[in-house]
Chain A
């Protein structure tokens, strides 16, 4: 270290220390009248994404856990279903085609009007209406019709037996008496929602923040955190700075910025495990990626743990399929060890011999293919480059290219894509859409045109029965088939990192989806937080 660099380091350390001291002095409450986070029963969090709409009819809260709305059912911290607006879990007919829900009594919307079966029927029928611009309609693909049987019973009829249907009924219920009177796509309800949930939206200043107050008449008991604010701060650095200044009580942060809060007395770091995966599609219509030898070799050649350590700074796990390794649906023994020698052997046996430039060749076909990633997405870029470098060592030349979805989508049939996705709740959600051969090229479903009859059969079995052991067996088959013939190289499951002021008890995280919903993060159950009694 030269004298100059020592001086620079010392100066940086000093500046950092000063910043920390300043933060400690101004914390809590840097606002002029000290409103920023001083009140014990108010919480302010910083989020990176602003919702397009707060209407459940357009997709908001479809995965449950909305602050404003309740679904018939809800997920608990372990992603098990529990009754919410329904009084109990649904009764499923023997053939799996009818789901009957008894509704909770005495629930009212935040405008005081009672919640009834009519609202449930209205919500589901409106979402299915072709005139409703909801991109999440496909989630309810299995639903044929929904009917009210009296004021407190709702009956869903399905087109085909679909075991994951109950998991779909976590979506928020909209009040018919408000939402039916206006344009479903652009009406005021999309920005001024009325629901039954634990919080009532008091203000949405677009581009700035969403403000909530506790619903004192909430059927689940009035929340202890009376005021809850979500500040929309797109830039990661600004979010970290405002958290440090005491302006925010919590925020989602990229792992490298969250590191700065480690060892900080006043803050706690939460790493939420997720179903959020990154994978490389291996299209069957490409001569190289369609070759099972190549697919298996890539699966073995790729160094997942290094990606987790280097790209995710440890906040994540190696992924071997859409199901994360810590899920109960994961098939033990399907982990693939990083083994370059084995990868080379697989290629040798499959007839891919090294050419003069080290790139393998089989029957005159060079082992090379393009790999696209979404331009501007640093995380995907890092994954793609690491993947290409691992593949190169085995003699496969992956050409990494950036593009927008408009550029990538028409090429998905033959070109590889670095994609992301993942939704917890049911193993059917990801696996069916990713792997079912009939969905090849259907929008963004089955991007790699994966086609494996054994997998198709298992996928149908998995959704047709409600018997958990049978379902587990079916998804075990899928995951084992993926070892023999991987249609995708799964790379990582990404943890989402949050830093929160240590002022409450009752914080936990839920398993999170790829989608950054509003209610992800430790505030998924903010209604259950209680302020710590430390401040006198």
Chain B
């Protein structure tokens, strides 16, 4: 198990190198002009001389490879450079925002996994029953619903109609101290929306997996031996029925990141996702590269985690991946 994790970590190094180089290459090839993005509306009245000066100051005219190498060597010594779009060091941008995004994504993920699994097991017990039919059709609808729209709907219902939950932000809009209580109430809607948007995948996988497992000979045998339904379900069916879901865990990470972006925008959540898009359209190389490394690491870790879990749940698979 440790060997597999170690091997994956070694494998991650070339992947990350390639990905960051890819980011620089794609950004260089992109039609966006970092100087224009930096100048914003002020650039629309700036003189050419002024724009040329910015061009030189921002160092955007150096060749791709040297720029990438410079970024990489500084990053390895701990200097992530300055973000041009945020006008502050990349390290500051990340420390200010990453925690909030992680909190949001982790809570949403927990909601999706727990709720999805729970509902999936219940539905699998009586395929075609009322719960299965209701949750099933809701799941298909949710899969098609844009998370942005879900967010607006949630604000309309919970914040406007019922007035029970805050509509956005990290804390009450008028307050500028961050207290755990406030963050907790402000977290509910965005995390729920993001979690619910991911839920159908887990629900559908678990429902199918457990329903299939209940049909297996081993489970039938267990039933025939007169074991309690509970034991059959949790001890036998769940174990093999959950396997496909574990693979899903890792592969949902990228979706979670893109979903978080929209949710953060709708709820004015001060996370890192919104900064990612800004960095991309502004061709903010240092910020973009650092964020890409983070996202790639998240995906690699997600996959590692699901493989490890798979190995634990089904020893036949082992840890050779």
Q: Is the CB of B173 within 8 A of A245?
A: no
A393 → B minimal CB distance (Å) = 31
A248 to B168 alpha-carbon distance, docked (Å): 11
A313 → B minimal CB distance (Å) = 22
Q: Mark B52-63, 1 if CB is under 8 A from A, else 0.
A: 011001100000
Q: Mark A379-418, 1 if CB is under 8 A from B, else 0.
A: 0000000000000000000000000111100000000000
A25 to B152 alpha-carbon distance, docked (Å): 20
Q: Is the CB of B97 within 8 A of A206?
A: yes
Which of B43-51, B228-236, B252-260, B302-310 has 4 or more CB atoms under 8 Å from chain A? B43-51
Residues of B within 8 A of A234 (CB): 265, 268
Chain B CB within 8 A of A505 CB: no
Q: Mark A171-192, 1 if CB is under 8 A from B, else 0.
A: 0000000000001011010110
Chain B CB within 8 A of A325 CB: no
Residue from B38, B161, B174 having most chain A Cβ neighbours under 10 A? B174
Which of B12-20, B29-37, B110-118, B121-129 has 4 or more CB atoms under 8 Å from chain A? B29-37
Residues of A within 8 A of B51 (CB): 135, 443
Residues of A435-488 at the interface with B, using a CB-CB cut-off of 8 Å, are 439, 442-445
Residues of B59-86 at the interface with A, using a CB-CB cut-off of 8 Å, are 82-86
Q: Is the CB of B173 within 8 A of A31?
A: yes
Residues of B135-179 at the interface with A, using a CB-CB cut-off of 8 Å, are 152, 155-156, 159-163, 166-170, 172-176
Chain A CB within 8 A of B248 CB: no
Residues of B within 8 A of A209 (CB): 169, 173, 176, 268
Q: Is the CB of A247 within 8 A of B269?
A: no
A238 to B167 alpha-carbon distance, docked (Å): 8
Q: Given the interface contacts A207-B271, A208-B268, does A52 sit within 8 Å of B172 by beta carbon?
A: no
Name B160's closest neighbour in chain A (CB-CB). A245
Which of A32-40, A68-76, A113-121 has 4 or more CB atoms under 8 Å from chain B? A32-40
Q: Is the CB of A26 within 8 A of B163?
A: yes
Choose among B31, B163, B172 the residue that contacts A406 (Cβ–Cβ < 8 A). Answer: B31
Chain B CB within 8 A of A489 CB: no
Chain A CB within 8 A of B275 CB: yes
Q: Mark B85-99, 1 if CB is under 8 A from A, else 0.
A: 111110001001100
B158 → A minimal CB distance (Å) = 10
Residues of B within 8 A of A191 (CB): 87-88
A25 to B87 alpha-carbon distance, docked (Å): 42
Q: Is the CB of A421 within 8 A of B45?
A: yes
Chain A CB within 8 A of B250 CB: no
Choose among A133, A439, A442 the residue that contacts B58 (Cβ–Cβ < 8 A). Answer: A133
Task: Give the dominant DSSP class at A's interface.
Answer: loop
Residues of A231-269 at the interface with B, using a CB-CB cut-off of 8 Å, are 231-235, 237-238, 241-242, 244-245, 247-248
Chain B CB within 8 A of A79 CB: no
A97 to B207 alpha-carbon distance, docked (Å): 81
Q: Is the CB of B159 within 8 A of A242?
A: yes
Q: Given the interface contacts A22-B163, A186-B88, A241-B155, does A137 sit within 8 Å of B45 by beta carbon?
A: no
Residues of A24-69 at the interface with B, using a CB-CB cut-off of 8 Å, are 25-26, 30-33, 35-37, 39, 42, 44, 52-53, 55, 58-59
Interface size bracket, A side: 35 or more
Q: Is the CB of B50 within 8 A of A443?
A: yes
Q: Given the interface contacts A44-B174, A231-B173, A404-B31, does A133 sit within 8 Å of B275 by beta carbon?
A: no
Chain A CB within 8 A of B244 CB: no
Q: Is the CB of A208 within 8 A of B159?
A: no
Chain A CB within 8 A of B251 CB: no
Choose among A19, A22, A188, A211 the residue that contacts B176 (Cβ–Cβ < 8 A). Answer: A211
A445 to B58 alpha-carbon distance, docked (Å): 22
Residues of B within 8 A of A135 (CB): 38-40, 42-43, 46, 50-51, 54
Choose among A31, A58, A237 the residue that contacts B166 (Cβ–Cβ < 8 A). Answer: A31
Residues of B within 8 A of A310 (CB): none
* A22-B160, A42-B174, A52-B85 known, 19 other contacts, Cβ within 8 Å: A32-B182, A37-B173, A135-B46, A136-B42, A186-B82, A206-B96, A207-B268, A207-B269, A208-B268, A229-B176, A231-B169, A232-B268, A238-B168, A245-B163, A407-B31, A421-B45, A443-B50, A445-B45, A445-B47
Interface residues of B (CB under 8 A from A): 31-33, 36, 38-48, 50-51, 53-54, 57-58, 82-89, 93, 96-97, 152, 155-156, 159-163, 166-170, 172-176, 181-182, 185, 264-266, 268-271, 274-275
Q: Which 4 A-B pairs have the closest CB atoms?
A: A26-B163, A135-B39, A211-B176, A135-B42
A-B contact pairs, 15 of them (CB 8 A): A31-B172, A44-B174, A58-B87, A135-B46, A135-B50, A185-B87, A190-B88, A206-B93, A207-B274, A234-B265, A237-B152, A238-B167, A247-B166, A247-B173, A421-B44
